[in-house]
């Protein structure tokens, strides 16, 4: 446990030192300012519009954060020989992967927290109120991107080329994001084979339809706890699979 915690701490420190992390926060402030302007022009519910646009911006930047840090960091460590050095010490492969994964999560959590605190602060400053379900939205995104992060770790171990791992993780995200809609469309079509395939994909891979921020914010506590358990199942499965692959891999 202590070795895993040290690896997680080191990963967090390295991530914070990267200029890319600061750049994401600067870009986030710019997108928030733009969303506030659009919200002011909106004739509908401006707070809801701003929350929706802000959540979309945070989602995109959180995905960029995972792709840059999780995948690039692991490949860089492998190329520079740091991975071999770490594993030559009394550190198991599962401790290494869990430590790195935890460190990436510790980087993702404050990014989401700061992002939504900024969003809430802007809403209070301009509209004197915040969207009612806003506190639950970063929780939904954290659970979803924890699953994406676990898959990114798996793809980094499985693929030898960094670009292949990046494309695989992006494809995983897109498929999980669209699987429910694809199943609905296929079920209404005339091709039963396509309907079966899309249904199988939705039932095998995590469905990000369940993590929709506004749906999650309004859901009862039981739903939130079930989604937490659902996420943990995939996270554990991906990390264990990555560990098994790393055991067989020639580093």
For residue 174, name the pLDDT band (cuts at 50, 70, 90).
very high
HSE-CB at 68 with a 13 A cutoff on CA atoms is: 18
What is the rounded CA–CA span in Å between residue 103 and residue 100?
5
For residue 42, name the pLDDT band (cuts at 50, 70, 90).
low
Which among 173, 1, 145 is positioned nearest to 69, based on CA atoms?
145
pLDDT, tens digit (0-9, with 9 covering 90-100), for 112-158: 888 888 777 777 777 777 777 778 888 999 999 999 999 999 998 88
Which two tokens mark 215?
A: 């749906």
Most confident by average pLDDT, 27-36, 68-77, 86-95, 166-175 = 166-175
What are phi and psi for residue 55, nearest 5 degrees? -65, -40
Q: What is the pTM of this model?
A: 0.86
Q: Where are the domains of the chain?
A: 2-248
Is 109 a residue whose pLDDT tops 80?
Answer: yes
Q: How many helices (H) and strands (E) does the chain have?
A: 11, 0
Cβ neighbours of residue 116 under 8 Å, at least 6 residues apart?
A: 54, 58, 134, 135, 137, 138
pLDDT, tens digit (0-9, with 9 covering 90-100), for 204-217: 889 998 998 888 88
């Amino acid at each position: 446990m202590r070795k895993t915690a040290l690896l997680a701490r080191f990963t967090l420190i390295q991530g914070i030192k990267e200029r890319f992390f600061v750049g994401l926060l600067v870009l986030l402030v710019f997108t928030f300012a733009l969303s506030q302007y659009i919200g002011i022009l909106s004739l509908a519910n401006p707070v809801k519009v701003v929350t929706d646009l802000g959540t979309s911006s945070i989602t995109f930047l959180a995905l960029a954060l995972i792709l840059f840090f999780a995948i690039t960091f692991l490949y860089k460590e492998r190329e520079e020989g740091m991975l071999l050095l770490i594993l030559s010490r009394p550190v198991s492969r599962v401790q290494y992967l869990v430590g790195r994964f935890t460190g990436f999560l510790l980087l993702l959590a404050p990014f989401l927290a700061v992002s939504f605190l900024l969003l809430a602060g802007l809403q209070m400053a301009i509209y004197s109120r915040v969207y009612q379900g806003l506190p639950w939205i970063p929780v939904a995104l954290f659970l979803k991107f924890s699953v994406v992060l676990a898959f990114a770790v798996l793809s980094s171990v499985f693929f030898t080329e960094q670009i292949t791992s990046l494309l695989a993780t992006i494809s995983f995200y897109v498929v999980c994001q669209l699987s429910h809609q694809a199943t609905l469309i296929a079920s209404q079509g005339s091709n039963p084979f396509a309907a079966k395939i899309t249904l199988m994909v939705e039932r095998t891979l995590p469905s990000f339809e369940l993590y929709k921020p506004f749906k999650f914010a309004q859901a009862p506590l039981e739903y939130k706890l079930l989604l937490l358990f659902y996420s943990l199942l995939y996270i554990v499965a991906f990390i264990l699979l990555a560990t098994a692959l790393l055991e067989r891999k020639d580093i």
